[in-house]
Structure formats: structure tokens, C-alpha cells
Chain A
Amino acid sequence: MFRNITIGQYIPGDSVVHKLDPRIKIIITFIFIVATFLINKLSGYLFAVFYLYLIITISKIPFSYILKGLRPVIIILLLTVSLNMFFTPGGTILYTLGPLKITTTGLRLAVFMGLRLIFLIIGTSLLTLTTSPISLTDGIEHILKPFSRIGVPAHELAMMMTIALRFIPTLIEEAEKIMKAQMARGADFESGNIVKRAKGLVPLLVPLFISAFRRADELAVAMESRCYRGGQNRTRMKQLKIQPRDYQALAVTLIMVLLIVWNRVWTW
């Protein structure tokens, strides 16, 4: 039952998008999100759509995977769209349904908010689809490093993420083992209503937590005996190096942003 869980949603590949420096990819994702919020005309979305189309084609990620990313947020999406549609005052009234009014401003805002959310989700899931969790962690650590002077625990966060990635499969395996052991003694994890099933999980979670704490303890001792003393004076085997392709990707992104700004200011 746990076998199918993958960490993140990374799809391995060897496209240029996959090979980009994780730092650059994270920064580009941020720029893209900001850019989509700059768009104030429907025509502006053409640039964003073309940009995403470009990335998806180059990365060879199947389109269905990207749509799958949208599924969990569909409720939030509908909620945002309808709230904006029905509760924005101003503009001419197009349609009245009891106390609810759809106005031109409301409709416009609803469409824009909906599109922004969709683009935001597609943009970020493209990041996680093409970047392995490990290099994502590396990228985050490097981006946060300058902020460690003002107290951002960059190394510690990255180390926590690394250890989590390392231990998720181990703990899943362990959960399966405990589950089988409990089932052999008559535990029932599958039938009954939600409350009953949640209660049924207690004999699984208690041993799992105890073992996780024991593992954490042993791991800490093992790390210490391998001279771990936090991020200070620590070197890394894998150095991130900015390649020409990273500059190219950044340039393409900036062109997209400029086009959007141009669209916002000079066209209508």
C-alpha cells in the first residue's frame, strides 16, 4: 500500500531543463510567478503560455503530469474564482441570482485570479517535476546561504531535508513491517468508518514513532563520530557551477518578463 509513494514528483530525464543549475531554476520560478502577477491584460497571458509551452516541450514532461498537479488544488481554485466573481462590487451588473451579482469587474478579477493560480501551480510543479529532491535541497541551501548571516539556518534546513529524504523510504518499509505484524495479530486497518480506521492506526503509529526516535538517536551518534559539527568549515563534494545554458535560460525568462511589462504598459 505504501510502495507507490514517490518523494516529490520528480520525473528523471536528461533534457536541458533537467540539467539546469537548481539555483537558477528556483530563481527562474520566482521570476515567473512575479511575472504572472504583473499581467493585467488577457493578451499578456499569451507570452506566459508560450513560455510554459517552450519549457514543457524541451523538458519532454508529458502534459498529463502537469494537469495532475492541478487536481489537488481544484477546490481552492473554484473557491477563489467564485468568491471573486460574486463578491466584487463595481462595474455593470451582468446577471443576478438572488443576493449574488455577477459584475463585469468581478468577472474580470475572477478570470485573472484563476489564471494566476493555474500558472503559479504549473510553474512550481515544472520545477519539482524536473529537479530531483536532492539537487533541489542543494539549490535551496546555496540560495539561503547569504542569509545565514542574519540568522537563517541554511545548512541546518538543508541537512534536515537530506535526512528526511534518506529516511522516508526506510520508515515506509518499517511501517509496512509493523502493519503486517499487527495484521498477523488480528488488527484491522481497512474496514469501518473514518473514526474507526483512524483509531486502528494507533498501534501502527506508536511503534513507528518510537523506532523513529531511536533511529534519530543512533544517527546523531553516528554523525558525531563522523566529525559532524554543523555547517562551519564544511566543504561539499558536489560544487554547483553556472553553465552557459543557465545564462541562456535566464535570458529567455527575462525576455518573457520584458514582453509582459511591455504588454502591461504600452498596449491595451
Chain B
Amino acid sequence: MAQTTQYRSLKNNEVQALTGQGCTSDDWSRVQVAEPFDTARLRNTQFSGDVRIGAVGGSAASTTGLAKPAGIYNAYVADCTIGDNVRIANIGSHLASYDIGDNTCIEDVGTMQTQPGAAFGNGVEIEVLNEGGGREVILFNELSSQIAYLMCVHRYRPKFIEKLTAIARSAASAVKGNRGSVGTDVRISSVKRIVDVNIGDHAVIDSAASLVNGTVLSAEDAPTTVGADVQAEKFIIGEGSQVTGGAIVSKTFVGQGCQIGKQFSAENSAFFANCEGFHGEACSIFAGPYTVTHHKSTLLIAGLFSFYNAGSGTNQSNHMYKLGPLHEGKLERGSKTGSFAYMMWPCRVGPFSVVLGKHKGTFDTSDLPFSFLDATPTGKCSLIPGLNLSTVGTVRDGAKWPTRDRRKGVVKRDRISFDVFSPLTVGRMIRGSAKLAEIHEKTEKTVDSINFNGADIKRVLLRTGQKFYRSGIHMYLLEKVLSRIEQAQGNALSKALASSPDAVYSEDWLDIGGQMMPRKRLDDLCADVESGKIADLNALNAALDKVHAAYADDEWVWVKRAYKQVFDQDVDTMSQEDVGKVAEDLLAVNGKFLRVILGDASKEFGEMTQTGFGHDGQPDDVAVDFEAVRGTYETNKFVKQIEEQIKALEGRVEKFKAQVASA
């Protein structure tokens, strides 16, 4: 509402008119109005306490978009400040202790009230990741995936946690108050109960069942929707999100650009940017950016996920009737679970892996990213290292995430590193490859399979895994060097290959709630929090932003060290000839990779895939039906993209080699 609004007391004739229209007040002198004021816009309303009413000459849009006259009709309004051109109509019980922004429409609401000392979901502690507690995340409006991750996961840094908790509590307490707020252009209708809930600008609350102790963050450029039959308590919902379709949300944080609905239920869980939860259930999960679960009978429990897609019927167990729900599990970024995949926690799955089957044992495959994990009939994990590197799904996922960022607002709280190939994943490949080589060396040829941290790997696949990883490592390092030189056109080679003086190197990289960084960056940040150098939320966010901004520089330093380690060549002293060789090698390794991807894609059009097509027809109808529905390999959009990528790569390398030759 406008800060400059001038209010005045009601005139006697206005009080008389209002009384004649069924309005009452304990004390009319405590009801103030702004100009223009029209008594006809206030009917059948009881006023209690201090009520300020803005201009009522215009109209406000309802949830259906229909513009209706501003004013107050059939309501009990207590201690509220109401902005200009607000419509409040048909309040069953009361509307109390709210500041309401301009052009807002509140209709058919049972109770809407703020109680003294309301916290609006801020300060609520949720038992994320470990259902038994001990990893509580404190909710506050500005909570990011990074801060939540550190608060939840890094409990082995007690001093840091103590300071971080203080920062979170300070941020949470800043919103505590006796009055709630509803922003401008908000549309609320047919809600039974809204108690202690702040609602941001342009939010739509349509037919929700009950909202208690929470905040709906919303902005003009990222409006938020809370829809039909939603029950939410102790919650914060971020800008641009949609919580709809009878979702039940309790002690839960829903970040920006999320979609929760179709009767999904979530408890003690945190969802960050662009998560989607439909039909299923989440209990004590940390859903990092792009965690997606769409199917009924899917239970995600006591787990850490990000860039994750849950197959139907996916579920996990976090206790076995011993000491309670103590166990937790981690599926690192980019992992997927197939239909009815089950894991008995504790387990840890390395990045970009696929998990199928019913796993009844504990395993840790974090050093074997891009792997394929199936379960034997006895529930033992059987793993093919690196197989997922060359599957069409991984490539498609990597391309789709950045294009599906639904966060449209200016403020994007979660810092997201999208790269599939990065120092994190390639570092793991280097480490994994070395381990596979070591085991392969030591294993007799008579051995059928070996055990790797709880997962069985067939001996012959130890070598295959190394081959897969070698391709991935080479492709990444060669691509980074080549693109670095390409981007620095016109500069001397040595300058193009130089590192930033501010870059930080760590062999080990971490994925902090979707933000990748060298370990040293995080250690420094944590030390600054512990020492008090970073003492408030603004400083912490600034530090995380700085780390995020340094990603490319830090990555380059890492690439150079890894290049030396893998190819035994110093990038800084590369000659033009060496650079030409980089281009040729990239063409070979990347071209081969893309052809393997195409080969994998072609399986989607094979004879076996056509099973069930041509139903009720003749044998010849199978292919015709399949083509009508799925198209052909040759015309498939993704296949064409990959083919174009191969051509582009060839053209790029040719151009580069010509440039090098003429230099």
C-alpha cells in the first residue's frame, strides 16, 4: 500500500450511512478512511479495533480474473490496514491483524488472522535427512539450498553450525510480529483458514483448505499459487512456485519455481529450485534443485537428492525396527531410480547413476559416477561402472535442466552449477578409474566378480569402467582446453591459457546443495563464519555468491592440474602444434562419444522397442504404427541434434586447426 496514504476519520453522515448499510463498530473513531471514499462500498461489515481503509473507488481482480468493485462486504474486520482498491467480501468468521496491499481481493474466506508473536513459518526447525533428528534445518524466508545443505549435512563442524544457526535464527526472528501482511495484487478466495501466514505480492490463494504458520513468498515477476484443498502448516513457499491439488505440506520448505501438487504430501522436508512433487510422499528429505517425483506409491524418505528423477514406486527404508529411523541415504546429483527401485539405507550413490531393483544391502558408489546399479535376486548391488556416461538419457538430462529453470524473478536464492562434466564428476572419474585399475591388477582372472564398497562388479567390467571413464575424462579436459583457446581469440596462447590470480585449487570438489566448488573455498567460508568474519545473512550470501562467480576460474585451475596428471603435459607451455593435437584428439574422443550416444538412441527405434505396436493389425502394421506414434530414428529431434553436434564439432575442429596453421 502506498506509504503516503492520508487517512481521515469518518464523518457523522458517513457513519450514519454505514450503519444504515448494516455496518457496526466498537468505536467508529478508530475506523479511518482515505480518499476517494464511498460509503456504498462498505456493507454488512463489523469493524473492531483500529481499521484503516484505503481508497475504494476502483476495482480488484478476483482469482478468476474478474474485476469486482473494491470495498468491504459481509465481513468482520479487526485491526487491519487495508490498501487502495482492495476488495474484501464474505468473510465467514473474521479478518484480523493484517496489513493488506493495494488492489488485493480477499473473498469467501473463513478465518484470516494473525496471532500475537506470529513467526510466519520462520524459525520452524525441520528434521531433514535424518528422521530421528540431529540435522535440523531452521526455516527462514531467505533460506537457500546452500545454507540449508550446510546446516543439515555439515554437522561435523560444530562451531560453524553454532554460528550458522545463530545467523538463521536472526533472519527468522526478523519477521516475527503481531501483524501479518498480504502484498499488492494478491487474490485470495474460498479458503477456510489462514492463520499466521504472510502472503507476498501477486500471489493467488485459491480454494486452499488451511494455511497455518507460514509464508507465501511471491513477486510480480514470480507470482506464487496455492491451490485447491492444500493443507499447509509450518511452511515457507518460495516465489514462482505452485502448491496445488490437495497437497499436504507440513514442516516443509518449498523453494523457488517448484511445483507440488496432485495430492503429494511432504513432511519435514526441504525442496529447492525447480523441484516437482506429485502424487507421492516425501518424509525428511533434502530435495536439492531439480528433484522430481511424479508417481503414486513413490516414497522418498530420509534422503538427499538433487537433479534426481524418481521412478514410480521408488522407495527407501531408513530403519529396521532396531533403534528407530536412524539411517539416511544420498543419491548424488543427476541420479535416477527406476520403477520400484528400493534401497535400504544407509547407501550412497555416486553422481549421474541409475539405480534399478530392490537393494537390501549397504553400498557406497560415490567414487564411481555415471554407473548402472541393479540388484541381484538376493538384493545385492551389482554395478557396471561408468555405463551411464554414454547413455542418451544422461545427455538429454544435462541439456534440459538449464532450459527448465522456472525461477523468473530477479532474486534467485539457490546457486546452481548445471555442468554434467565438472571437476566434481571428472575428479570422481579419475579417482574411480584409479581404484578400478588397482583392483583389476590385483584380481585373478578366475574371479568372476569383486566387491567394491558393498557393490559387486564383474571382473571383466573393471576394464570396461576404466575405458568409459577414460573417454569422459579426456573429452572434458580436451574440450576445456580447446574452448579456452577459442574464447581468447586474438590473445597470445600463453595469455589465453593463464589462470586467474584469484583462482583457488582443490583436487577435491564438493556439491553444496547444487553449487559446485573446490573444497578449499568451502573450508575458507566455514572458517570465516566460525571466526565471526561472516556474521550475518548478507555477508554469508555475498560469500557464497563470490564462490559461485569464481566457478569458471577455479575450474580452469583444476583442469590444468588434471590435464598434467592425465596427459603428462603442462597446459601453460603448450605450443601451437600441441593445441592442434588437442583439437584432433577432441574430435576423435568426442566424435566417438556422440556416435555411442546415437547408437544408444537407435535402440529406442529397434525391433524390440516396437513390441506391442500394430495392435489388432497385421505384422506389417507394427512398423507403420510405431512410425506414426514415435517417428523414425532419422527424423527424431534429439538424434538430429546429436548429428548436428557431430558436424559442428568437425567444423569447429577444422576451423581451429586452420587458425593454428596460419598463426
User: Is B one of A's binding partners?
Assistant: no
